[in-house]
C-alpha cells in the first residue's frame, strides 16, 4: 500500500510539473487538455508527427481566439456585439448593400482609407459601424470604436489639458 501511494503521489507531482511547465511556456490548451489528447493518441494510434501537429494546431487556434477576444475587448465596441448578418437591409432600401458587403471585406484597411457613415438618426449607421469593427477584430485588426461626439469631446479635452499631441495617437 505504501508503494502505490508513493507512486500515485509521484504521478500527481509529474502531472502538476507538466501542467506548470505548459503554462510557463504559454501552452494553455495543452495544460488543460493533455489527458484527452493522450487518450485520443492511444485510442486512434496516431503517429508522433500527427500527435504533435494536433497539439500545435490546438494551441494556434486557442491563441488566435484569445487574440481576437483581446482585440474586441480593447476596441470599445459596445455590448451586445452587432453582427452584419443581423442588419435589416430591407428597412433601408436606399442603402447600397453591395457597398456595405464590399466594406465588410476590409479592403479599405490595407489601402489606408477611412470610412465615414453619415445619415439621419435611426438609419443603422451605428449597427453597421459596430459590425464592421467586429469583422475587423475577427480578422486581426486593432479597432477603436467611438462616436463623433465622443471624439470631439476627447479632442476638446486634449486642447484644454494641453495633451492634444497624445490624443492624435487615435488616428495613427
Is residue 151's pLDDT more than 70? yes
Contacts of 166 by beta carbon, 8 Å cutoff, 6+ apart = 158
Q: What is the CA radius of gyration of the chain?
A: 25
pLDDT digits (tens, 9 = 90+) for 111-135: 999 888 888 888 888 999 999 999 9
pLDDT given for residue 10 in this prediction: 79
Phi and psi torsions of 21, nearest 5°: -65, -40
- Span 81-102, mean pLDDT? 90
pLDDT given for residue 172 in this prediction: 46
> Quick one: which H or E segment has residue 71?
helix 48-75
Phi and psi torsions of 145, nearest 5°: -95, 130
Average pLDDT, the chain: 85
Whole-number percent of the chain with pLDDT over 70: 90
pLDDT given for residue 48 in this prediction: 85
Amino acid at each position: 500500500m505504501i508503494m502505490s501511494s508513493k507512486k500515485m503521489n509521484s504521478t500527481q507531482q509529474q502531472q502538476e510539473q507538466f501542467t506548470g511547465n505548459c503554462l510557463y511556456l504559454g501552452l494553455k490548451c495543452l495544460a488543460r487538455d493533455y489527458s484527452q489528447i493522450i487518450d485520443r493518441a492511444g485510442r486512434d494510434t496516431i503517429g508522433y508527427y500527427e500527435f504533435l501537429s494536433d497539439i500545435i494546431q490546438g494551441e494556434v487556434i486557442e491563441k488566435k481566439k484569445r487574440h481576437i477576444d483581446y482585440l474586441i475587448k480593447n476596441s470599445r465596441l459596445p455590448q451586445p456585439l452587432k453582427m452584419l448578418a443581423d442588419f435589416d437591409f430591407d428597412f433601408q432600401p436606399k442603402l447600397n448593400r453591395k457597398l456595405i458587403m464590399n466594406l465588410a471585406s476590409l479592403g479599405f484597411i490595407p489601402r489606408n482609407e477611412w470610412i465615414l457613415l453619415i445619415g439621419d438618426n435611426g438609419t443603422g449607421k451605428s449597427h453597421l459601424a459596430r459590425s464592421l469593427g467586429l469583422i475587423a477584430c475577427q480578422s486581426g485588426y486593432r479597432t477603436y470604436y467611438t462616436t463623433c461626439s465622443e471624439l470631439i469631446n476627447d479632442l476638446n479635452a486634449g486642447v484644454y489639458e494641453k495633451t492634444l499631441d497624445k490624443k492624435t495617437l487615435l488616428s495613427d
